[in-house]
Structure formats: C-alpha cells, structure tokens
Amino acid sequence: MSNRNRTAMAVSFKFVLIVAAVLAAIGCILVFSGCAFEAQSQLNLLRASGPAALDAYLAHVDSHQLSFAAYMFESVSGHGYAYGSFLQGVGFWFVFVLAPLSAALLVAVRWLASRDRSVSLRHRLAAAH
C-alpha cells in the first residue's frame, strides 16, 4: 500500500473519531443542560410554592422509575415526568445512539471503499494479463 493510501485511511479514521467525539460532546452538553434546567425548575417551584409543593413534585417523579432505555424513549416522546427530562433524553440519544451509530456507519463506508478499491485493482490486473 502506498503512503498516499495509508494517509487517506488514517485521515478517515481521524474523521470518524472527530465526528463521534463531537456528537458525544453535544450529548454531554445537552445532558448537563437538562440537569441544570431541572435544578432551576425545582428551585423556582420551591420559591413559588414552598417545600410541600417541591416534595410532592419529587415524590411524583420518583414514583415513575423507568429503566434507562424506557427513560430515553419516554423523555423524547414527551412523557417524561421531570422538567429537564427532554433535554437529558436527547443528550442520552446523542451519546449512546448517534455517536456510536455514526462511527459504525463511517467505518462501514471506509471498509466498503477499501474493498471496492481492491476489487477494481484485481479487475485491472486481470485485464492486463
């Protein structure tokens, strides 16, 4: 393999890592923003309605314990019980679904492209003989 092909393969691998890292970073920012929004909403509820309202809200949220996958689906479908659940759910989708999926798709495209190059090289060599 020539140096040019190796460089192209290395650059595309770096591109895969950059894309996955950017998506994961966006997801982390969304999760932290959702946590901050939830904390701010609880503080506003405490200030406006008092500790009894906050306790009732927290009891209501705690009564709907979901698995992680169910939380991800419920939060983006609009059925989340907490104020910040939508932002957190979208962030979890970025981190645990979009980033790995994009990396897998880019690796698959890279693999298919390298496979296509080797097939076309074999055809060119066969035609030469």
Model-level pTM? 0.77
By residue range, what is the domain housing residue 111?
Answer: 3-128
pLDDT at 54 over 60: yes
pLDDT given at position 38:
95
> Is-contact 72 89, C-beta < 8 A?
yes
Quote the mean pLDDT of the chain: 84
Domain count for the chain: 1
Contacts of 90 (CB under 8 A, 6+ apart): 27, 30, 34, 75, 76
* Range picked from 14-18, 41-45, 101-105 for highest mean pLDDT: 41-45
Report the pLDDT averaged over residues 76-84: 87
